Amino acid sequence: MPGYEPFLLCDFHVHTTWSDGRLSIREVVDLYGRTGRFDVIAITDHILTQKDVLGRAGRMISLGLKHFSVTEQRFAAYMAEIAAEAERARALYDLLVIPGAEVTQNHIRAHRNAHIVALNLTDYISADQPAEDILREIRRQGGLSIACHPHHRTTRRLEIATSYLWDHRKRLIDLVDVWEAANRDDLFSVTSLKHFPYVANSDFHKPKHLYSWKTLVRCEKQWDAIASTLRENVGVALTLYRNGSWAA
């Protein structure tokens, strides 16, 4: 896209109304597409555990009208809508849209929490299994895994610390494809200190999150090239995508 050649400007972590995002998939595509800057986005709505406390509370507050999770029953419809919007996005904006999900484990005790983005997945993945098995299932499907906000220990509204993958990194290093070195406005320098493969994502939930850390990838605009470049982690850079000026 203009200004970033030969890099692709990418956001691999975007939520929509299929879980707790504010915009529909179509609205997200139009928001990113109309900037004239983005090359790649991934739709990654939450798949929650059966017992997820936050999902149930949210559903109660919204009187059951809002969904906070892509369930197994809704998964095929979710994938079909992403596929239809991906076709429209490529034709209209030359924007590549990748199907994904954030397999989300929230427990009362934060050190057990893991949020794993699965990119280019084809089948439903239950959050009700050990993180190791989720990572293996992503590999089996030929997808790519991202350890999300792995060093996030502060409390955001309806978001709790997720340190399981980081705390067990020695055991999981071969199962995790890339780690988020930046999520929205936060930089996790520990990820880069370990020289792990990294990405930066917005964790988009509402329009203002467009302006946040993003990934630049130097390769062709197609999934296989992007996946191998992310894994090799050469020709990958972080950029803070801003709203015109830094003071805005």
Residues lying near Zn ion in the complex (CB under 5 A) are found at 102, 115, 148, 203
Question: Distance between CA atoms of 126 and 155, rounded to whole angstroms?
Answer: 25
Q: Any idea which residue has 């191998």 for tokens?
A: 228
Cα–Cα distance for residue pair 21/15, rounded to 1 Å = 5
Residue 13 CB, nearest approach to Zn ion (Å) = 6
Rounded distance, CA 59 to CA 69, Å? 10
Q: Where are the beta strands (DSSP E) in the chain?
A: 8-14, 40-48, 96-105, 114-119, 144-147, 178-183, 186-187, 198-201, 213-217, 236-240
Nearer to Zn ion, 39 or 203 (CB): 203
Residue 199: CB minimum distance to Zn ion, A = 13
Would you say 42 or 89 has its CB closer to Zn ion? 42
Please, which residue, 147 or 148, has the CB nearer to Zn ion?
148
Q: Which of 62, 159, 74, 73 is nearest to 110 (CA)?
A: 159
**How near is the Cβ of 36 to Zn ion at its closest, in Å?**
25
Instruction: Collapse the DSSP code of 105 into the 3-class scheme (helix H, G, I; strand E, B; otherwise coil) and give the result.
Output: strand
- Of the pair 210, 219, the CB lying nearest Zn ion is at 210
CB of 33 to Zn ion, least distance (A): 21
To Zn ion, the closest distance from the beta carbon of 234 in angstroms equals: 26
Please, which residue, 4 or 52, has the CB nearer to Zn ion? Answer: 52
Nearest residue to Zn ion, using CB? 115
**Of the candidates 20, 46, 7, the residue with the CA atom closest to the CA atom of residue 200:** 7
Q: Is 80 exposed, middle or buried (0-12, 13-18, 19+ CB in 10 A)?
A: exposed
Minimum CB distance to Zn ion, residue 20 (Å):
9
